[in-house]
Amino acid sequence: MKQSKKDTTLSEKDALQDLLDCEKLLMGYYSNALIEGSCRPFRREILKNYTANADTQFAVFEQMLSRGYYEVQPAAKMLIDQKTDTFSKVLKQIAAG
């Protein structure tokens, strides 16, 4: 049985989640293009688009957060301190390398 458009309408939450997923994917594409870009004008344009896309992605995230569709758990101070210590050790190893 073929579904019509009205039978497949997304809820607001699903539509925002889909949009957020697309924005994240696009961020990855722009990141790869920036890494691989071989001329300055191209890289400047990609960076401009990347920045605009980052703003859009964050705006969608904020909308989801404000509607209770996206829950963020704050990190415990102990966990932050552990990660900071781990990365400090790695940086020292790289510097000594």
CA distance 96 to 94: 5
Q: What is the pLDDT of residues 46-79, one digit of tens each?
A: 999 999 999 999 999 999 999 999 988 888 889 8
Residue 1 has pLDDT above 60, yes or no: no
pLDDT for res 34: 95
Domain ranges for the chain? 11-96
Buried b (16+ CB within 10 A) or exposed e, 55-65: ebbeebbeebe
CA distances for 53 relative to 10, 28, 45, 77, 84, angstroms? 23, 10, 12, 31, 29
pLDDT for res 27: 97
Give the pLDDT band of residue 33 (cuts 50, 70, 90): very high
CA distance 83 to 81: 6
